[in-house]
Amino acid sequence: GAVVSQHPSWVICKSGTSVKIECRSLDFQATTMFWYRQFPKQSLMLMATSNEGSKATYEQGVEKDKFLINHASLTLSTLTVTSAHPEDSSFYICSAPGTGHEEQYFGPGTRLTVT
């Protein structure tokens, strides 16, 4: 099956700094990737749709200037959390749709802790 990787798997940063998370499709090309955030015991919340070669589409309530998304190639999307605050601490996951554009293949997630 399709493989999606994420890096780093966990990161601790200080308040006010920026953190970049990478999402790669390893054995297939992904023109679209999705970024989610999951707080403990809650559902995955879609943050944005990352589109290769064009601007990301953000969900309502997600600050595009705070969560910068770049999808410069068919195998890589990055999410940068700028000026991180403790409330940004969460589990960030990316996914890419399968060839049928139906099911999602998920990266292993990045656990961000902002101190």
Partner 1 sequence: RKEVEQDPGPFNVPEGATVAFNCTYSNSASQSFFWYRQDCRKEPKLLMSVYSSGNEDGRFTAQLNRASQYISLLIRDSKLSDSATYLCVVNRGGSYIPTFGRGTSLIVHP
Q: By the criterion CB under 8 A, which residues form the site for partner 1?
A: 34, 36, 41-46, 49, 91, 93, 95, 97, 101-104, 106-109, 111
Nearer CB in complex with partner 1: 51/82: 51
Closest distance to partner 1 from the beta carbon of 112 (Å): 13
Please report the DSSP string for 42-98 in residue order: S--EEEEEEETTS--EEPTT--TTTEEEEEEETTEEEEEE-S--GGG-EEEEEEEE-
Closest distance to partner 1 from the beta carbon of 58 (Å): 12
Residue 57 CB neighbour total at 10 angstroms: 15
Nearer CB in complex with partner 1: 14/100: 100
Closest distance to partner 1 from the beta carbon of 99 (Å): 11
Nearer CB in complex with partner 1: 44/68: 44
Compute the distance between CA of residue 42 and CA of residue 56 in angstroms, rounded to an integer.
Answer: 24
Nearer CB in complex with partner 1: 9/15: 9
Residue 78 CB neighbour total at 10 angstroms: 19
Closest distance to partner 1 from the beta carbon of 16 (Å): 26
In contact, 71 and 33? CB cutoff 8 Å: yes
